[in-house]
Amino acid sequence: MAGPKASSQSQATLSHTVSTLWKSYAHKTPDRLKFVDVFLTFLVLSGVIQFAYCVLVTNFPFNAFLAGFASTVGQFVLTASLRAQVNPENHTEFKEVSPERAFADFALGSIVLHFFVFNFLG
């Protein structure tokens, strides 16, 4: 009966890994990035809900779906970029980009995105 033993062993390893990952994330990630991650999680949930509604209920009006879904996707991309640029561990990669500059890019990109989203929403 090696199977169950092995699986329980691997399960234990997995839960151990996950808890290690979570502890590491909770302790080592700056609050700022955790805040960004909360926003990203919200965007993912919003996008998933809209997609499920489109598939399960109706895709009409399709332009509204595209606008709503694209707004979450676009905002996710912009926020993820912001997270990458303000992450201290990536400091060496974005030497010329200060956190202020990164936020200004993020804010401008988001405003343009929302301008198009609300034009397309119908």
Partner 1 sequence: MRFLRSALLSCLALLATVLAKSSSGDKVLVLLDPSLDKANYSIFFNGLEKRGYDLTFRAPKDASPAVAAYDVPNYAHVILFTPDTKCTSPTNPHPSHARLTRTVAYASDITPQSLVGLLSENTNLLITLSPKQTPLTSLATEFSLIPPPPGTPLVSHHPKREEPATLVPVDVAPSPMLAKGTAPVWFSGAPHALGNSPYLVPILRAPATSFAADSTDDSDAAVIVDAADKAGEGLWAGSQLGLVTGFQTFKNSRVIFAGSVDLFSDAYARKPLPDGIPSGNAQFVRDVAAWVFQENMVLRIDRTAHHRVNETEPPEMYTINDQIVYTAYISAYNPRTSSWKPYDGLTDLQLEFTMLDPHVRTALPPVAGEPGKYEVQFRAPDRHGVFKFVIGWRRKGYSFLHTSTTVPVVPPRHDEYPRFLSAAWPYYAGAISTSVGFFVFSALWLAGDVKGERKNLKNTKSE
73 vs 98: CA distance, rounded Å: 25
Site string for partner 1, 2-21 (x = CB under 8 A): --------------------
How many chain residues touch partner 1 (CB under 8 A)?
36
Binding pattern for the stretch 36-55 against partner 1, x by CB under 8 A and - elsewhere: ---x--xx--xx-xx--x--
> Least distance from C-beta 9 to partner 1, angstroms?
36
Nearest by Cα to 110 from 67, 69, 79: 79
Sign of the CA dihedral with 61 first, then 64, 70, and 76 last: negative
Residue 75: Cβ-neighbour burial (10 angstroms; 0-12, 13-18, 19+): buried
* Interface with partner 1 (CB under 8 A): 30-32, 35, 39, 42-43, 46-47, 49-50, 53, 57-58, 60-61, 64-65, 67-69, 71-72, 75, 79, 88, 91, 99, 103, 107, 110, 114, 117-118, 121-122
